[in-house]
Amino acid sequence: MKSKWLTGLVLVVLSVSAAGCVETLLLGVAAGGVGMYAAGKDTIQGDTDTAYDQLWDAAIRVCRIKGTIKQDNYGGGNIEVEVSGSKVWVRFSKLTAATTRIRVSSRNKLHMPNINLAQDMLIKILEEAKTSPAVEPVR
């Protein structure tokens, strides 16, 4: 039920944002208490109470499945990956001891924003972090 609701909400919001009417758009609260919103034309971000290490591991797994990792820096909280010809940047920052912000940006070969890919990557990372147990960090 939550997944259908979230999917419907995301589709409505993306159709509005694709029209270029709203620069920063509230996407709502995803499962697990993550507030996601567009932070620019090519960036989606969310704040979560999932541990940094768990998010990092999930992001590395998702990035390896979806494409080719070009760079990763655990300490700096940055991952660059190429997915189907688009560049994707995943950035992490600790806001508090319990809260981590994840920002996903994407641009295609022509350097045009690819917000759909950024959103897909963010949702997949958050789902992976939620379903996988905390393990030793993949670095």
User: Where exactly are the structural domains of the chain?
Assistant: 2-131
Give me the pLDDT at residue 132, please.
75
Distance of CA 72 to the CA centre of its chain: 15
Give me the pLDDT at residue 26, please.
37
Alpha helix segments (H runs only) across 19-137: 52-66, 115-131
CB 38 within 8 A of CB 54: no
CATH architecture of the domain with residue range 2-131: 2-Layer Sandwich (3.30)
How far is it, in rounded angstroms, from Cα 20 to Cα 78? 28
CB 138 within 8 A of CB 52: no
How far is it, in rounded angstroms, from Cα 33 to Cα 43? 19
Give me the pLDDT at residue 19, please.
47
Regions of the chain short of the pLDDT cut 50 = 5-6, 9, 12, 16-32
Give me the pLDDT at residue 77, please.
94
CB 129 within 8 A of CB 114: no
